[in-house]
Structure 1
């Protein structure tokens, strides 16, 4: 599996000097972001991603804990090898179309698909497009039945968050690291690193990293045919829940592990979307 890596290196610098008649300055640290790519097996010639903003969120107090995204247990308790996946979580505005993505493996095809969007509406397509008429958090349930006799069933639960966008760029506690469009060819970054941004920050606990992905394209080799595809991005804001500290006089290294296989999905003939799948790894 090929993974693209966006490296965030947080370098803590102590700035404290005492002059006659002056007070000690506030302790600062520097956020240093880099981007890289690890070689893999996917036959992509170019993968251009434009990131227009990167922010981090600082906890108000040292004891503040931010609530993680709610997770659901999607473990197959019967361990029969048949696994369904509904991707997600999904996020959109009211009346904004969402491309839901269903997948399954380990069963006997053909599969039957049943989506419950949590608002009284259902769909029996594998990858339905749907929008919500009101804001809120909806529990989305995908049930997949295979063609094994009476049918073997597996399910997957995720969420759809509609409206009420709490990701206000000017919100309290958010610090902007990058505020300009930067385009990177992730393929060209194999085994090398390129800087994303550098920013002085105060020491303390930080709880989130937020990326704004402006656009993305891929160039692929499809059995000898070179094809360029724009990637539709259902939600261009990617919020990563990860608590980390900037300590005085120390360096904290974070790696944003960008999984291209889970991020790029084909939804139809010559149609692709990107739902960025990123893990935060602390070294």
Structure 2
């Protein structure tokens, strides 16, 4: 279990305190630590559930608990609690960056039941067909320390800017004591794909500094219109250099082979796998 780092020491102690306890009748639950280690092994290696080593116990036990916690929100609750712990001691860098990454879907990820009614499961299962075949796109917000703050899944052919507000709305970091969760960063960096009037207005209304360069086409069109084109948006090239934090965060998540290539039929389960990897990143810091 030392292989994943966060399964030992203070990080694991905090995660363990947030895990559900067994209630009602039935046989005794297998140790949570063993189950989580098995989930990590499965997604780190990209192996099928049925190929879990016998040392983890029956694969059905591991899969059923992973699925249960994905659907009842346990994984997300742990992730949020670790973010709250970091924010309470001012360890979150609120100069955030936004970007997306495309994940190729394995043939085993296809074939999910159409119209399956699950809370939080999109109708298209966050999977679409593009030049690379079946793909899923992960829209991500990372803090200044390369840690994921929020994510949203979509079909791989969808435009990045369309999901900007959705992924920003997922930022909810509870604060100690009474009060609303923190949802507003100090600054947002993003590439030219996010340069739109709607996104800039969204950030300006919320008093969030935007570091988004203009595409050449927008610059040309603004200059062509003269005064009617308005002033160029403010941009700080030096401050924009921190945008690589989201790229590095994506690279950390894709070290898990089961995340670099999607094998889950349901978007709910693939998002849970991303959340487990995010928990590992936050628990180690």
Question: What range is the shorter-chain TM-score in?
Answer: under 0.3
TM-score by length of 2: 0.24
Larger Rg over CA atoms: 1
The structure where strand makes up a greater share of residues is: 1
TM-score by length of 1: 0.24
The structure where helix makes up a greater share of residues is: 2
Higher relative contact order (CA 8 A, sep 6+): 1
